[in-house]
Structure formats: C-alpha cells, structure tokens
Amino acid sequence: MISRSEQRFIRINFITIIVTLLVILAGGIVRSTGSGMGCPDWPKCFDRYIPPTDVSQLPADYKEKYVAGRLKKNEKFAKYLESLGKMELADSIRHDKSITVPEEFNPSKTWTEYINRLVGVLAGIFLLLTAVFSFTYRKSAKRIMLLSIVNIFVVGYQAWLGSIVVSTNLMQWVVTAHMLLALVLLAISIYTYSYAKQLHKEPSVIMYRIAWLKGFLFFTLAVSIIQIVLGTEVREAIDVIAKSLISRDLWVSKVGSIFSYHRDFAILVVITNGVIYKMVIDRFSGKAAPLLTARFILVTLAIQLLSGFALAYISLPPVAQALHILFSTMLFSLQFYLYLLVYRTKTYKQ
C-alpha cells in the first residue's frame, strides 16, 4: 500500500516532469524567435531582476560592458575545457569573433528570454521539492532518494551551462550539450516516478517473451536521441543562415545535407515506433499501462511529424519550431517510460 508521504512524492515528481517539459517548450520558443541573447548576462537580465522595457533604462555603455563580461566568462570556460584536454574547443572559443559582437536591445526578445529563465527557476524549485520529499524512501528505496539528489546537481550544472550558452553567444555545440543535459534531467525524473509508482506492485506477467521488446525499445530510444541531436544541428544551421538576411523561404534550401539526414532519419523513427506499437499490442491487452503508453507514443509521433512537415514546407513557422522540439522530447519521455514498464514485466513460465 502506498503511504500518504509516498503519494505526495509521486505527485510532486510528476509535476516536476511536466514543468521540465515546459522549460523545453520555453527554450524552443526562445530559439524559434531568436531571443537567446535577449538577456546578455546571467543570472540577471541587464543586471536587473526585472528586465528593462525601453533602451532608455540601460546605461550608455551597456554593449561594451556585456561583451567584456562575456569574454571574461569565456576565458574561464576555455581554461576549464583545457583542463579536460579539449584544446581545440578552448581555442575556438577564444578566437570566435561572433562573441565580441554586441546584441541590440529588443524588449520582446528580452522578456521572452526572461520568462524562459523564470520557468527554469520554477523547474529548479520542483526538483528541490522532489529531492526533499524523496527522503520518505530513505529506508525502502534509497535509489529514489539518491537519484533525486543527483538531479539537483544536474540542474545546477545545467544552469551553469545555460550561462555558458549566453556568454558564448549561442555557440552551437554548447546549445546541443544544453539540450542533451535536459534529457538527462527528464530521464532521472521519469525513472524515480516510475520506480515509486511500481514499488509496491508485483511485476506484470504475460504469456509472451519480452526480451525482444526490451531490446528493440532500447534501440528506439537511441534512434530518438540521435534524431534530437540532428534536429538541434539543423536548428543551429538555420540560426547561421538567418543572420545572412536572406529570404525566410530559402532558409531550408540553404541548410545542406544535415537537413536531409534529419528528414530521412525521421523515416526510421516512424518505422521503429510502429514496430514497438505492434509488439506492445501483441503482448498486452485491456488498459495495461504499456499499451496506453504506446498509444500516447503514436499520438505524440503524429504531432511531431505534422510540425516537421510545417517546418520543411511552410517556411519554418516559429510555432511549429517550438512544438517540434517539445513533442520530440515528449516522444523520448514516453519511450523511456514504456521501457521502464516493460523492463519490470516477466514472461509466464510453467
């Protein structure tokens, strides 16, 4: 039987997952509107807790001030990379001329980025609450408590990496690392949620072998992660093209082979998820959680594909960009949750 304190943890953990997805949606809106540098400093915005609404509220030398601050932070980051043996990356940061180019103040972009940061703070609060309430499992399931605490350190590192995203003027590989770390945060939260939900339940037993489904689910998760990375690289290429001031209708055609890889890899995403759905319906029936999760996967995949078509053939509408990254992340989340459900399932043996 689940105690009241355990129910509270499960509820807070679920809210944390939803808020983390909202952070990713907010980040997608920031990327699609080009608001990533709306606040040129971090954690404050133009050195204020409440950002300005007009350029008259800024000091006359604000451009030089924030460029100098970015260069100082980047030098520290370059030394950190050197300590890891990443000499070429450190050198690329030191010689990246785009970092020295100041951003023009734009109130709408500033507030878009500021709201994104507020949602990030909200996610941090819920991750902290999850860690606090996880102590109810300190005797019955220590891994829940330990992983919840680990997630606090992960979100702290993610916040620091977010500051590097700003200081490097949205350097491509840093943005990709920032996105992948968000998936790590999600995966840990989903794991603790699933483990807590299943803790007092006996594993499901079905008549069919489950090993192939477990293995193929793991493969499908890897495919989704690769597709997310490819999508991030496409977005980075679009960012570069957008700065050239060519017509928006031509952006997709100028991206190059990485867009073709991303588009063609989507076929593999569809096939693998279709196979997963068929394998699940062959093994589970009724209202079994794996079957319901598999159905959610199909719905999420359909929305992701529609948003992808909109991006490819309707000149990259910002709404479609934000939805595309949100539903690709939701697809990964549902696949991982399904994997955890299937992992606990056993095959009946006479």
Question: What is the per-residue pLDDT for 205?
Answer: 65
For residues 148 and 127, give the distance between their C-alpha atoms in angstroms, rounded to a whole number. Answer: 8
pLDDT in tens, 296-344: 999 999 999 999 888 888 877 888 888 998 999 999 999 999 999 988 7
| Distance between CA atoms of residues 240 and 247, nearest Å | 13
Which two tokens mark 173? 């590989």
In the chain, pLDDT over 70 holds for what percent of residues?
Answer: 95
- Residues 310, 313, 314, 319: is their CA dihedral positive or negative? positive
pLDDT tens digit string along 30-60? 877 877 778 887 778 888 888 888 888 887 7
Count CB neighbours of 221 within 10 A: 18
pTM: 0.87
144-148, long-range: CB < 8 A, 24+ apart: 144/9, 144/192, 144/195, 144/196, 147/188, 147/191, 147/192, 148/13, 148/188, 148/192
Task: For 259-269, write each residue's pLDDT tens digit.
Answer: 888 888 999 99
pLDDT tops 80 at residue 108: yes
- At position 260, the amino acid (one-letter code) is S
DSSP 205: E
Q: How far is CA 124 from CA 42, 86, 117, 127, 179, in A?
A: 16, 30, 10, 5, 16
Structural domains of the chain sorted by starting position, each given as residue range(s) with its CATH number in brackets = 1-201 (no CATH), 204-350 (1.20.120)
Task: Report the pLDDT value the prediction gives residue 170, as an integer from 0 to 100.
Answer: 66
Q: What pLDDT is recorded for position 60? A: 77
